[in-house]
Amino acid sequence: MDALHLTLVIIHSLGAIAILVGAIGVLAGGASGFQYTLLWSARLQVLTGLGLAALAFVDDEANVLKLVVKLLIALVVAGLSEMSVRRDNKKPLMAGVTALTIANIAVAVAWH
């Protein structure tokens, strides 16, 4: 179980980095590749987060309120990422994605 947990943590961490790179790339007027990096990374974050939450419940270490807050933030990030594919003016959405991703990282690190 430790190897699975560690693997999910690494993938989840890389996903957060990829979301930030994608959002900042779109904000900077980058190519559409940034958009799809962001979109798939946001989807991956939700899936790996659910996997990590499941492992926390199995190990009886789950902080339910923290997990709910993180899930809600991740779903909003994923929703904004999905919406940005269909919009011309992506900058307000990317600013929200960036801020919420940083907030989600802060919740993960600071909330014990």
Q: Please list the pLDDT of the chain residue by residue as tens digits (112 residues).
A: 799 999 999 999 999 999 999 999 888 887 677 888 899 999 999 999 999 999 999 988 899 999 999 999 999 999 999 998 888 888 899 999 999 999 999 999 999 7
Q: What are phi and psi of 86, to 5 degrees?
A: -95, 0
Q: How far apart (Å, rounded) are the C-alpha atoms in residues 4 and 55?
A: 9
Q: Which domain holds residue 24?
A: 2-110
> Which residues contact residue 106 at a Cβ distance below 8 angstroms, ignoring those fewer than 6 apart?
none
Confidence (pLDDT) at 105: 96
Other Cβ atoms closer than 10 A to 70 = 21
Q: Which amino acid is at 36?
A: Y
Intra-chain end-to-end CA distance of the chain, in Å: 21
What 3-state DSSP class applies to 84? Answer: helix
* pLDDT computed for residue 79 by the predictor: 96
Residue 82's pLDDT is 93
Token reading at 25: 């790339």
Total structural domains within the chain:
1
